[in-house]
Each structure stands twice: as structure tokens, then as C-alpha cells.
Chains A and B, each alone.
Chain A
Amino acid sequence: MTAALSYRLVIRTLPWLTIGLLSLPVLSGLAGALAPAFGWLPALGGEQLSLAPWRELARVPGLGEMLRLSLVSGLGSALISLAVVVLFLGSFLQSPVYRRLQGWLAPLLAVPHAAAAIGLAFLLAPSGWVMRIVSPWLTGLDYPPDFAFPGDDWGLALILGLVIKEVPFLLLMSLAALVQCRADERMMVARSLGYPPLTAFLKTVMPGLYPLLRLPVYAVIAFATSNVEVAMILGPTTPSTLAVAVVGWLHDPDLTTRFMASAGALLQLLVTLVALLGWWLVERLVVRLSRGWWQDGHRHCGERSLSLLARWAMRLVLGLMLLALAGLALWSVAGYWPFPQSLPWPPTLGNWQDAADGLLSPVTQSLAVALGATLLSLVLVLGSLEAETLRRRPLRPGAQLILYLPLLVPSVAFLFGLVMLQAQLGQQPGMLAVILGHAVFVLPYLFLSLAESYRRLDPRWAQQARSLGAGPWRVFMGVRLPMLLAPILTAAAVGFAVSIGQYLPTLLLGAGRVETVTTEAVSLASGGDRRLTAIHALLQLALPALGFVVALLLPRLLFRRRRGLLLSH
């Protein structure tokens, strides 16, 4: 009886802790930015409400350009990514190309933003790998050409860097959504009525798919309008995007700049909200305009050229990503590598040996933070999913929104407010704050990865166990956990990868006391040492890869003589 009671107590508490972890930092962080933005932060001598921070912000040179850059790069990259994904799915949903791609998505998603951005910068820079490969035989160049990349004034490099990360994310999110909206049936009906694949997809699948993709798309927009590390590495610097500027102001030695920075953090929130609102309005308009088109009976919409475009766009996105990562590997073993040699010859391990001593600390700190955040998130997610079996119904739409809250509110805005709160309350920044901060971002991804498998487990397993006399704890620990070990470890690996890739929470909440491979890689990227930067970026890839290897091998090892378990996943 006490066991059943403790089970109910724990399992009913964990969903509330989950909701707390997702919403409290975001809400208190926004509140923490609000007060200083209007001049109130006693710890720094601000004891009167005023509009001075906003007036100061308005006088920042190039503010308009910053806003334009954030909006254009954010909305532009989201639009391009969605278009590539939709056209690709429409053209290849029922073809082997699509099935081959599926296996690549999770590893691609695990590539940290910073590593992808660094790789892309090294690939496409004037002295980058692409230029070296085509020089001098094609370009006639013996010296690197003079063009601004990364950091072009239009933000094209930034948009490209965002797109190569957002396409795999949206594709992965579509996988489950396509099943949920019965895309295959819709396609079959439409195609049997004479619609070619892409038109069939746009007219019959999209109206069901988009509502399911809406939150992921909004998360993409929120991230793209407000991210810091990709914009630091690939974006223009004079001026930078608003988010990068806010982080710069926060680190200004003159502490009074923080009042203006708080106003900037709130302005970032507004920018993201404006972007989301604008997207939503266009969304309404598109739906209204397409109603007639869905049923007008036209069987074609420029299929052939659009499919060709989709195929090449997808190849470009994946190719750039893979080349960028390969380029990182080259730079890490490059000795003297003059332009326009296409390969560094002879390769050397000297860079790794020189760097080895300095790597130990960031690697262990990364591991400590990632393991802590993943473990905490895993307990909360398992508790929340187990609570669903107790109530026998899945999440309400409101809970789904809470899950996306940390992905929809610009992290720079609420993390900034948390730093202000830390300062006001005299809390020490450090490891614990960083782990909690990471967990806010790890938890949603872990939940989204695991929920499907957890809900799909046949309830008769639990019923069989209980009719054999097993209490609720034993059903959970002895039946559900071992049977779901493979998907649980995969979800944990996704969460681990998300944590390894986090830049801003480490930087802001750790206040320089916690240095991970990601913070090191980003700060090195602005310097000139490509070899050392490449090594750190590769470590950013290696740690998540390690997580996925463990997640793949451990169940195979533990259950090597349990065929039924390995086949079912």
C-alpha cells in the first residue's frame, strides 16, 4: 500500500516539476530583464524607474540596421528552410531517396550550431576549402580573393548557416507529423485521382501537416531571429545582429551599460514576437488564398522544375554540412597549408598534441554539465510520460505549448534576465546554475524524442505484469524501463547533444567560471587560429557522437540474447 502511495505521489509530482523547470526560468528571466530595462536594479544603484535605458538604446548607432538584420536573417532562413523541406517531402515522400535520408537526420541534428557555423566559415571563406579546390585551375587565383565571407553585410552567410541546421530539424519533426496526419493515405487518394506527387502533397498533405509543424516552425523563427553563436561566427559585425549586441553590452566593463542591455534584451523579445506575428499573418493569408486552389482541379504546379530545385537544394544543404565538417577535420591536422593547395600535406598530429593539455578541462566540464542536465531532464521526462499512463491520456495542447516555451522565447532575453536576478539576489553563478539552464533546453528535445515510443508501448505489457502481482513501481522499473531502454538511451543521447551544443546558457549563467568545448570554440572562432578552433569544433561533434554510439551499442550488448527486444525498435 505504501509502495503504491509513494508511486502515485512521485509520479504525480514530476509533471509539475517539469512544468516548473520549463516555465519558471523563462518567466522569472523575463521579469528579471523587465525591471532593469526601466532603470530599477538596486544592486547596481538603479533605484528609480525611468525610461533612460530605452533612450540610451535608441541612440545606439546602427540600431535600425541591427533590427533589420535580425528580422531578415531570421525570417529568411526559416522561409528557405521550410520551402526546401516542403518541396523535398512533396517530391520524394514515397521514394527511396526519402527513406535513405531518414537515418541521417538525428546525427545531423546533433551537430552543434557553433560547429556547423565554424565549418561553414572555414569552407566558404576567401581562403577556404572551396576556393582552394577551384584555384588556380578554374579561377586563375594564386592568392585568396577579396570578398567578405563570413560576415557579409547582407547576412547571407548567417542565413546559410541557419538553413543547414534548420532543414534537418524540420525534416525530423515532419517524420512523426507525417505519420500522424496519415500522409501516405492522403497521397494515395490524390495520386489515384491523377495528381502527380508534389501537387498531391501540396493540395492534400500540407493542409494536415502544417498545423502539426507549426510549433517547430515557430521555434525555428524564434531561434533564427535571436541566436547568438551562429550570428557571432557568420554574421556581419558592423553592426551585428541585435542578440549579439545585447551579449556584448552585458560584458561591457561599465556596469551601467547593463540597464541599456536589459532594454535591448526586451527589444529582442519584441523583435521575435514581431517576426512570429508577421509569419502568422502571412500564414493566414496563404491559407485563405489556397482554399480555392486546393479544389480547383488543376493537376500541375510546375512539378518538374520544383522537384529538380528541391533535389538540388537538399543536396546543397547536406553537401555543405558534410563538407564543412570534413573541412574541420582537415584544418585540425593541417601543418603549413598555403593557398591554393587543396589538401594540407603532410598531415600532422602536432596541433592535437599541442592542444591536448588545454582540452582536458573544457571536455570534463562539458561532460559534467551535459550528464547533469541530461539526467535531470530524463527523470522529469520519464515521470511526465509515466504520469500519462496513470491518467491514461496524453498531454493537453496547453502542456505542449509549455514544452515549447523555452524554444519560443528568445533565450538571450530570459537568460539575460536570469543573470540580472543572480546579480540582484547575490547568487553565485557556476556549475549548478549552468546545469539547470541547460536542462531548460535539453528537456523539450528529450521529451519530443521519447514521447512517441513511450506512448506506443502496448498497455497489455503493464496489465500482464500487474495481473502477475507486480505493483506500479515494479511495472515501471522492471517492465517499462527495460523494454524501452533503446529509445530512452537514444532520447538521452539527443538531450546530451543539445547540452554539448549550448553556448549562451553556459556563457551567461556560468559567468566565465564554466568553460565548455562550445564556449571555447566560439571564442576561438573570432581569433585567427583555425587549427585550434577546428579541434574544439571537432570535439563538439565527437562528444555527441560518443553519446549516440553508447545509445546504440549498450542495448545491443545488454540484450544481445534478447532478439524480441532488439527487433521491435
Chain B
Amino acid sequence: MATLHLDNVQIHQGLQSLLSLDTAIAPGEIVTVMGPSGVGKSTLLAYIAGFLSPAFQASGQVRLDDTRLDTLPAEQRHLGLLFQDPLLFPHLDVEGNLAFGMRRGGERRERIRAALASVGLEAFARRDPATLSGGQKARVALLRVLLSAPRAILLDEPFSRLDAALRDEIRQWVFERVRDHHLPTLMVTHDEADARAVGGRILTLTKPDGSGNLYGREYGAPGS
């Protein structure tokens, strides 16, 4: 598995610099980016994933080991993206959603069955995603990303829409899976509980000098 590098990434909006970040995320490491809403956390993820709005300009490089990603179209970056909402395609059943991200050929159905069985959802393959519970949807959404064979994972406030009771359980489950797969993972969140649960490095986006500019500043894991 490769390391995800963000080399001198700077995002501007016109003349105003929005954020800058320089870091590397090792396989199986989960790095958290924190900051209040509206400071450009989601813009950072959009840039890495290849969806930066034309209103912004970015410089720097995104690499997986030696493969440069920021010059590739989004669909060739193989970055698994998980949003706040599970975004299961409503016109496909559970199996269809999982198959959507997989490559053609190679016992797709068997792998889907095995993946569903691993989370106790083996009976749900032909179900309408709208009939699933919140926790089930979250699981299927992560399975879909993992089955698409990503080379890194981007989490965009992935637990904020879950019930408080479910949140801890799903959170632990997602982190375990990501680590099992040895995927470098970048999580954007405003919830400190997310950061504490990861226990890894935290980058905080703040306004350090009153100029309105935002910089990624590294801290160690809380309590370490």
C-alpha cells in the first residue's frame, strides 16, 4: 500500500489564500483535519478527490507514493470518498450499489455476498436501499467504497448524521476496516469526539494571524 502525500497544497480563492497544508499519510494511518464549519475543510477534500470548484485555484501536488493524482480526472484517482450522507443510489438495489464501484469480471457477485456476510447483511443483497436503517446504510456505503479497491480513503464528516447511539459503534467499525485494509485515510470533521476516537494526528485549520488566512497546524494526538 502506498503513502498519500500532500505536498505544499495551497488553495486560493482569487487573491485570498484559503488554506495550506503539507503532510504525508502512511498506509493504515488516519489523520484528522479539524476546524469550525466554513473554513474550507470540505474544499480541501474536494481538491484531493478532484472536484474543486472553478472558483478556487490550487497549487502543490497530491501523490500516492510516486503517482501524481492531482493531474488525473476524479474517476482515475481511486480515492474512496465517504460523505456525511450514505448516498446509496436510489435506483439500484444494495447489490447494484456495491457492484457500481467494482471492476468488471472476477466473481463480483461472490465478493459482494462475502462482503455483506462480513457485516451480517447477507440477506439484504436485493433490498431497496431506502428500506435500510441508518446504521445499515452507513455500512453498505463503506463496503461500496472498500469493494471499489481504493488506494486511500477520504472521510467528509462521515458520522455527523448518525444517531448518537450508533455513532460510536459505526465509527469504531469504519476505523477498524480502514486499518485492516492498510489504507491511508484523511478525515475531515468538526466533532472532537471523532478526533479522540481515532487517536492519531490532528491538523487544525485556524485563523492564526487575523489576516483571514488559514494554515494547517499539526498537533500530536490528544493526551499523548
Q: Which of A's residues lie within 8 Å of B, judged by CB?
A: 4, 392, 459-461, 463-472, 478-479, 482-483, 485, 559, 561-565, 567-568
Contact = CB atoms under 8 A, between A and B. Distances in A.
B90 A564 contact: yes
Contacts of B73: 4, 466, 471
Interface in B124-157: 128-131, 144-145, 148, 154
25 contacts: A4-B73, A392-B54, A460-B87, A463-B51, A464-B87, A465-B100, A466-B75, A467-B49, A467-B74, A467-B79, A467-B154, A468-B148, A469-B78, A469-B103, A470-B101, A478-B100, A479-B89, A485-B91, A559-B91, A561-B128, A562-B91, A562-B130, A563-B128, A564-B88, A564-B130
Nearest to B103: A469
Given A482-B91, A483-B90, A564 B100 contact: no
B77 A483 contact: no
Contact of A565 (B75, B76, B90): B90
A365 B183 CA distance: 61
A468 B50 contact: no
Given A463-B51, A478-B100, A470 B75 contact: yes
Nearest to B86: A464
Contacts of A469: 75-76, 78, 101, 103, 148
B100 A483 contact: no
A463 B156 CA distance: 12
B131 to A, nearest CB: 7
Interface string B109-135: 000000000000000000011110000
Name which of A461, A464, A562, A567 has the most chain B CB atoms within 10 A of its CB: A464
Interface in B45-65: 46, 49-51, 53-54
B158 interface: no
Nearest to A459: B51
A12 to B, nearest CB: 16
Q: B interface, by DSSP: helix, strand, loop or mixed?
A: loop
Interface of B: 46, 49-51, 53-54, 73-81, 83, 85, 87-91, 93, 100-101, 103, 128-131, 144-145, 148, 154
Name which of B50, B89, B103, B144 has the most chain A CB atoms within 10 A of its CB: B89
Contacts of A461: 87, 89
Contacts of A468: 75, 80, 100-101, 144-145, 148
Contacts of B103: 469
B77 to A, nearest CB: 7
Contact of B81 (A463, A478, A565): A463
Contacts of B148: 468-469
Which 4 pairs of residues, A with B, have the shortest CB-CB distance?
Answer: A468-B101, A564-B90, A564-B130, A467-B81
A247 B33 CA distance: 71
A482 B85 CA distance: 20
A568 B90 CA distance: 10
A564 B129 contact: yes
Contacts of B51: 459, 463, 466
A563 B81 contact: no
Contact of B83 (A460, A466, A478, A561): A460
B42 to A, nearest CB: 10
Nearest to A471: B75
A4 B75 CA distance: 10
Nearest to A458: B87
A478 B75 CA distance: 14
Given A392-B53, A466-B50, A478-B100, A567 B91 contact: no
A469 B154 CA distance: 14
A563 B103 CA distance: 27
A486 to B, nearest CB: 11
Name which of B77, B78, B87, B88 has the most chain A CB atoms within 10 A of its CB: B87
Contacts of B83: 460, 464
Nearest to A475: B75
Contacts of B50: 466-467
A564 B154 CA distance: 26
Given A468-B80, A482-B91, A559-B91, 20 more contacts: A460-B83, A461-B87, A463-B46, A463-B49, A463-B81, A464-B87, A466-B50, A467-B75, A467-B80, A468-B75, A468-B100, A468-B145, A469-B78, A469-B101, A470-B75, A483-B90, A563-B128, A563-B131, A564-B130, A565-B90
Name which of A468, A561, A563 has the most chain B CB atoms within 10 A of its CB: A468
Nearest to B127: A561
A562 B75 contact: no
A562 B79 CA distance: 28
B81 A464 contact: yes
Contacts of B54: 392
